[in-house]
């Protein structure tokens, strides 16, 4: 274990360093300007303190970054790879903050039953343009409170009993049911006029 002192403002202050004597590959725990860092997989001969190999950051405001040294939100993850072929990660807003694997397979589900609703309610949804308070970027989307007022609670995520986010991926279920209904109507009209 090694200990260093931050003698220069803004300088890296390493608290502990673990090195493999065989190949000099090292992991380090340290801090910079009050933020804590974990660096891994660096050669002490090339990067003595591991500053350029930071893997996880805990900023002074409590934000956590994986793959980034400057997390702007509570959890920022840079460098994820994967597909959207039917499963993904979800974040629970129930106070636990848990992130879990969300799959389409029936083996992960209980109480499976047909879903009925007035799918045409989504036709009343109105897109909005807005500035995100966190990123300060202009974006477009729908407002969770407005969907809740339309009775689209299955498309809304709630936190502390109040609308908090929209399950955008579920909108396609409503759209598909509308398409199916429209197709039936078209086929009925075609039969009536003899097409």
pLDDT, position 24: 59
What pLDDT was estimated at residue 83? 44
CA geometry: angle 60, 65, 70, nearest 5 deg: 65
Position 63 confidence tier, pLDDT thresholds 50, 70, 90: confident
More confident residue, 111 or 159: 111
Domains of the chain: which residue ranges? 13-77, 113-195
Of the pLDDT bands very low, low, confident and very high (cuts 50, 70, 90), residue 37 is confident
The residue-averaged pLDDT of 1-29 equals: 57
Give the lowest-confidence range in 65-79, 105-119, 150-164. Answer: 65-79
Query: 147-167 b/e with 16+ CB inside 10 Å = b?
Result: bbebebeebbeeeeeebeebe
């Amino acid at each position: 274990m090694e200990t260093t002192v931050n003698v220069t403002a803004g300088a890296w202050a390493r608290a502990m360093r673990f090195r493999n004597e065989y190949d000099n590959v090292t992991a380090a725990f340290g801090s910079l300007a009050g933020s804590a860092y974990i660096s891994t997989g660096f050669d002490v001969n090339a990067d003595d303190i591991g500053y350029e190999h930071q893997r996880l950051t805990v900023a002074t405001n409590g934000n956590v970054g994986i793959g980034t040294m400057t997390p702007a939100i509570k959890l920022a993850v840079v460098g994820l790879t994967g597909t959207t072929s039917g499963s993904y990660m979800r974040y629970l807003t129930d106070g636990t903050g848990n992130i879990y694997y969300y799959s389409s397979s029936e083996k992960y589900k209980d109480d499976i039953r047909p879903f009925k609703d007035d799918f045409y309610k989504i036709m009343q949804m109105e897109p909005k343009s807005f500035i995100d308070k966190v990123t300060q970027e202009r974006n477009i989307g729908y407002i969770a409170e407005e969907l809740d007022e339309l009775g689209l609670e299955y498309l809304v995520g709630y936190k502390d009993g109040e609308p908090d986010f929209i399950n955008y991926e579920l909108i396609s279920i409503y759209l598909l049911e509308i398409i199916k209904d429209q197709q039936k109507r078209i086929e009925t009209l075609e039969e009536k006029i003899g097409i």
